[in-house]
Chains A and B, each alone.
Chain A
Amino acid sequence: MTIESLLTYNQILVFFIFVLAIFVGFEVITKVPSMLHTPLMSGTNAIHGIILFGGMLVLADAATPLAQALGFVAVVFGSANVFGGFMVTDRMLQMFKKKKK
């Protein structure tokens, strides 16, 4: 079994992106004050709400009632994750903004 039979060239490129993204994720938040831990977690939580895209794509192609039902639930979940995530993060950070005597 060769590498070529497992992965296409395009898939290897995608893997390349994946590996680089791992390092970017590590490097980008090297020093975070502890008061921002929660908002940062909440913000990244909203970013993985991009699963909404995946939900939309599978629901768009769904061909049976079962697939439609599962896809529907996936889109509801993903949508709540992404919209709720950004909103709740903004609400947290709003608290930091108005300050100074």
Chain B
Amino acid sequence: MNSSIAFILIGVSVLFILGIKFLSSPKTARAGNLVAAVGMLIGLLVLCKSDGTNIWAHGWSFNYTLIVIATLIGLAIGAFGAYSVKMTAMPQMVALFNGLGGGAAALVASLEFLKDAQPVNQLIGVELPHAPAMAVTIPMLFATLIGSLSFSGSIIAYLKLEGKVEKPMTFPGQNILNGLILLVIIGLCGWLTFNATGHQAVVAFVVMFTLALFFGVAMVMPIGGADMPVVISLLNSFTGLAVAADGFAINNNAMIVAGTLVGSSGTLLTLLMCKAMNRPVTNVLFGAFGSSGGASAATGAVVGTVKHMQADEAAVLLAYAQRVVIVPGYGMAVAQAQHSVRELSDELGKRGIEVQFAIHPVAGRMPGHMNVLLAEANVPYDQLIEMEVINPSMERVDVCLVIGANDVVNPAAREEKTSPIYGMPIIDADHCKTVIVMKRSMAAGFAGIENHLFYKDNTRMLFGDAKASLNALVAAVKAN
């Protein structure tokens, strides 16, 4: 690699670092994304082979035609996915893109490894003078393992968020079985480190790859949908590390820097998300959240009855309140009700009622999910209040309108030690004078447990699709 390109790559690395830095502040976030994208484009233009020559300077061959076609296919898939996806399904899309990245990392490492395993020369067609050095073999094995695990794990996370794999799948001895699989994988990797060539190496490698794919599935299956953001964030940092390892294997510094940055910042982000939910990361990964035991324990203690309410009654309550707090949840996202919510909030605002939105850090399917949706509907920033800020003043709220939120307002998290969500910070909706819960049915939330809030004396249920109910409310408030 000549020195000028090395300098350009330093610039590219700086752009990535600045991009991530800008992304962590609301004002500069969008610019940060662009900065990182520009860095990527520059890196692509000066992309060098390991012998230091520019990849585009080699004259054209069939492989280059393949590269262009494959890139265009990927671009089409990516653009279609990114622009066709509904705002509610953004998290799944991130999971899917992350999985593809992990898959690519595993494939790149596999190709390098198989190229070095001499008996497959007939398959891959490259003669090697000697076995590869460990400094290359270890990163290749690491990238294959982590990349394929991230691939299959992300696909399961995607399916879970899409609702195609609904319940957490658990069985006794699961953690032990997973541990054993992991041991076998690590054993195979250890053996391959010292025996990286020969037919046996190829067989062992394929077995390792397959087991790693399976391990990704086994790792994510028992985790409940409510914890998927944390899982996706973790897999995201895994993919970053796999990419960095690939960078070691094929001697590309830009990949090492970018992958490592994602790996470490992703790990920190995962911990931040866990902190927002007040749960240690080990609890998320091995706790089998929302398993049947916890659910039955929680249902036993329900007291009180469910009280229904119609939209026009609710409208009267709202129209004569002084302070209203709206707690949005996934139900609002599913019903695409964010615009109707804003209409209601505007209508109440016109009557001089103070309207605020209480945002739980993990409401919806992703941290920040509610902020994005409400921002889309032009709800002003200053009306969105974070949970910790609004909780102390909840007693002075006349009406709390819970729209399709469930677990994040479940008082069991505060009161019941046996509940699987015990200890999770919640919005204290039950402290308000009156609570109106808008919900499609009495079905349990993502954690799969009963919500005592629905049975409290000061709670009224307004059943129906969130958007339809809200529109009815807006009309009724206008009439009042």
Contacts and interface: CB of A to CB of B under 8 A. Distances in A.
Physical interaction between A and B? yes
Interface of A: 6-8, 11, 14, 17-18, 21-26, 28-64, 66-68, 70-101
B16 A47 contact: yes
B259 A50 contact: yes
Contact of B256 (A17, A52, A84, A87): A17
Contact of B67 (A25, A37, A60): A60
A60 B100 contact: no
Contacts of B77: 76, 79-80, 84
State the main secondary structure of chain B at its contact with A. Answer: helix
B263 A67 contact: no
A53 B232 CA distance: 23
Contacts of B70: 55, 59, 72-73, 75-76, 79
A77 B74 contact: yes
> Which residue of B23, B247, B264 has the most chain A CB atoms within 10 A of its CB atom?
B23
B80 to A, nearest CB: 8
Contacts of B123: 64, 66-67
B184 interface: no
B44 interface: yes
Given A58-B111, A94-B30, A11 B258 contact: no
B251 to A, nearest CB: 8
B335 interface: no
Interface stretch (B161-169, B284-292, B359-367, B451-459): B359-367
Q: Pick from B112, B266, B273 the residue with the most CB of A within 10 Å.
A: B266
Interface string B370-402: 011101101011001010000000000000000
B81 A88 contact: yes
Contacts of B325: none
Contacts of A6: 133-135
Interface stretch (B174-182, B236-244, B294-302): B236-244
Given A26-B268, A47-B40, A76-B73, A97 B260 contact: no
25 contacts: A6-B134, A29-B23, A37-B229, A37-B233, A37-B273, A40-B24, A43-B29, A46-B33, A50-B243, A51-B108, A52-B71, A59-B66, A60-B49, A67-B124, A74-B104, A75-B71, A77-B100, A80-B78, A81-B104, A89-B23, A89-B33, A91-B90, A95-B372, A96-B375, A98-B378
Contacts of B256: 14, 17-18, 21
Which of under 10, 10 to 19, 20 to 34, or 35 or more describes the interface residues of B? 35 or more
B363 to A, nearest CB: 10
A38 B49 contact: no
Contact of B368 (A37, A61, A80): A37
Given A21-B261, A36-B26, A60-B67, A47 B359 contact: no
B63 A60 contact: yes
A99 B378 contact: yes
A20 B295 CA distance: 46
Contacts of B44: 52-53
Interface in B251-273: 251-269, 272-273
B108 A91 contact: no
B443 interface: no
Contacts of A91: 82-83, 90
Contacts of B381: 99-100
Given A29-B21, A41-B94, A48-B239, A93 B29 contact: yes
Contact of B257 (A11, A21, A85): A21
A82 to B, nearest CB: 6
A48 B143 CA distance: 13
A82 B247 CA distance: 16
Interface of B: 16-17, 19-21, 23-26, 29-30, 32-34, 36-37, 40, 43-44, 47, 49-50, 55, 58, 63-64, 66-67, 69-75, 77-79, 81-83, 85, 87, 90-91, 93-94, 97-98, 100-101, 103-105, 107-108, 110-112, 114-115, 122-126, 133-135, 229, 232-233, 236-237, 239-240, 242-244, 246-248, 250-269, 272-273, 276, 359, 361-362, 366-369, 371-373, 375-376, 378, 380-381, 384, 386
Contact of B108 (A17, A24, A74, A95): A74
A30 B372 CA distance: 22
Given A18-B244, A52-B71, A25 B261 contact: yes
A82 B78 contact: yes
B245 to A, nearest CB: 10
B261 A54 contact: no
Nearest to B233: A41
A21 B260 contact: yes
Given A38-B366, A49-B101, A68-B63, A22 B272 contact: no
A90 B246 contact: no
Interface core residue of B30, B97, B247, B372 (most chain A CB under 10 Å): B97
Contact of B78 (A35, A84, A100): A84
B240 A54 contact: no
A39 B54 CA distance: 33
B140 to A, nearest CB: 11
Contacts of B71: 52, 56, 75-76, 79
Nearest to B370: A35
Contacts of B250: 54, 57-58
